[in-house]
Amino acid sequence: MSRIEAVRDEAQGNLADRLLLGLPAEAVLIDPDVTTSYANDMASFCPAGTPAVVVLPRTVEQVQHVMRTATELRVPVVPQGARTGLSGGANASEGCIVLSLTKMDRILEINPVDRIAVVEPGVVNATLSRAVEEHGLYYPPDPSSWEMCTIGGNIGTASGGLCCVKYGVTAEYVLGLEVVLADGRLMSTGRRTAKGVAGYDLTRLFVGSEGSLGIVVRAVLGLRPKPPEQLVLAAEFASAAAACDAVCRIMAGGHVPSLLELMDRTTVKAVNDMAHMGLPETTEALLLAAFDTPNPMPDLAAVGALCEAAGATQVVPADDATESELLLQGRRLSLPALEAVKGTTMIDDVCVPRSKLGAMLEGVERIAEKYGLTIGVCAHAGDGNTHPTVCFDAQDPDESRRARESFDEIMALGLELGGTITGEHGVGVLKREWLAREIGPVGVEMQRAVKQVFDPLGILNPGKLF
């Protein structure tokens, strides 16, 4: 053992010993085979370090102990949920404490009169969604990883999903938080009431902060009454431009679809190849629109007519909820299906004003051609939130380079069109150079200063965002 290794091992041993003063043995993992399995989330091209230790606290007090220890020893802390993120926001730093919140997974309260749920951060999105449904309630945010991802992770990245065009993103549903600060102190933010404006909105500051300001240990979430099951209409188009035109007509027409999703030909084919869904492959773009109102028929008919006016070659309403769900399954499989095309993907998350959706898709096609790459696009079209997905062979260095360059060029295009580099996936490691381009030097300076307030030692998820 070299001197450096010896010093490192001693530091690690010391760290683990200190952590064990406030955590049970089974909550402190130091076996390198185990800890390295916590190094990455699901993003490509994002470097990760090796954690010194992984902790799995079950109580607020244990999280406080972890943060006090980290502060005393000046050790970086990387909070993690289910590590389904797509920007490297949960990737380990070298020698860090990985703070996995997955064991804090209790639903503490569901209140149908106040329409709130109180949860710990490790509750899985789907678990909460199903639990509130039993009370006739609805927790809308539905990222595509909803069967695995945690509410804490959703809060960290302000996740979205298919629901957003009608119901908005996670941020809209976080009313109040309990947060363990970098030094281990506990702070409450927000409220459990429907409204409240007492002081600065620190709740929203924490939502989307990617674990860089504090550790969320409890959340009060707003709920809605469960709407009727949605009915989906599928429309095929001879060009992506025509489908985007339909989106603009639908939204300008005052409709409020419960989803409005677009899949391009590449995506449709990938989904069929993977799951034999029988989606129509002869079209350039497939648009899915749905309504979850008590009587969706007039809206569906009007939207069908708008699609035809925009040049749809075929408009097919689903017969019932089962057929609707099948179409949505297809949409939900888009990302894994595109991943199967060449083995690896880089998934962009550019959101543009929806009036620029057509220009965005046209530009992505141009970029794919320029770099000789397959780039499939699925999009939360009603929100202008596109996921251009670069398919490439990670074993091929030249293709990998082109993938990375095209990925960046897509973000540049998004900014040029008045959009943002990330609609719902977050900045993480993947887009940190791009954050500065989007928010400008004054924005970066003020954001860094805010970070400094909450994390003066820079131990909270360092190297993310900035």
With CB under 8 A as the contact rule, which of the stretches 36-44, 76-84, 366-374, 416-424 interacts with its own copies?
A: 416-424
Residue 442 touches its own copies, criterion: CB under 8 A: yes
Residue 112 touches its own copies, criterion: CB under 8 A: yes
With CB under 8 A as the contact rule, which of the stretches 27-35, 55-63, 100-108, 292-300 interacts with its own copies?
A: 292-300
CA pair distance 358, 276, nearest whole angstrom: 29
Residue 290 touches its own copies, criterion: CB under 8 A: no
- By the 8 A CB rule, do 126 and 61 touch? no
Residue 228 touches its own copies, criterion: CB under 8 A: no
Residue 188 touches its own copies, criterion: CB under 8 A: yes
CB 45, min distance to its own copies, A:
18
CB 171, min distance to its own copies, A:
7
x/- mask, its own copies, residues 249-288, rule CB under 8 A, reads --xx-xxx--------------------------------
Please, which of residues 298-357 interact with its own copies by CB under 8 A? 298, 351-355
- By the 8 A CB rule, do 119 and 150 touch? no
Q: Which DSSP string do the residues of 419-459 spell out, in sequence order?
A: -BSBSSS--TTTTHHHHHHHHHHHHHHHHHHHHHHH-TT--
Pick the binder of its own copies from 308, 438, 457, 458 (CB under 8 A). 438
Per DSSP bridges, beta strands 97-100 and 77-80 are parallel
Residue 425 touches its own copies, criterion: CB under 8 A: yes
With CB under 8 A as the contact rule, which of the stretches 54-62, 109-117, 123-131, 302-310 interacts with its own copies?
A: 109-117
Q: Between 205 and 274, name the residue whose CB sits nearer to its own copies.
A: 205
Q: For 327, what's the count of Cα atoms within 13 Å in the CB-facing half-sphere?
A: 28
Q: How many CB atoms lie within 10 A of CB 306?
A: 23
- Evaluate the CA torsion angle 297, 112, 210, 100 in order and state its sign: negative
Please, which of residues 150-169 interact with its own copies by CB under 8 A? 157-158, 160, 164-165, 169
Q: What residues pair up with 98 in beta bridges, in sequence order?
A: 54, 78
Helix (H, G, I), strand (E, B) or coil at 233: strand
Sheet with strand 231-237: strands edge to edge: 312-317, 231-237, 285-291, 259-264, 374-380, 385-392, 344-347
Question: What H or E segment, with its residue span, contains residue 334?
Answer: helix 334-342
CB 25, min distance to its own copies, A:
31
Tokens encoding 333:
């499989």
Q: Between 264 and 383, name the residue whose CB sits nearer to its own copies.
A: 383
Residue 13 touches its own copies, criterion: CB under 8 A: no
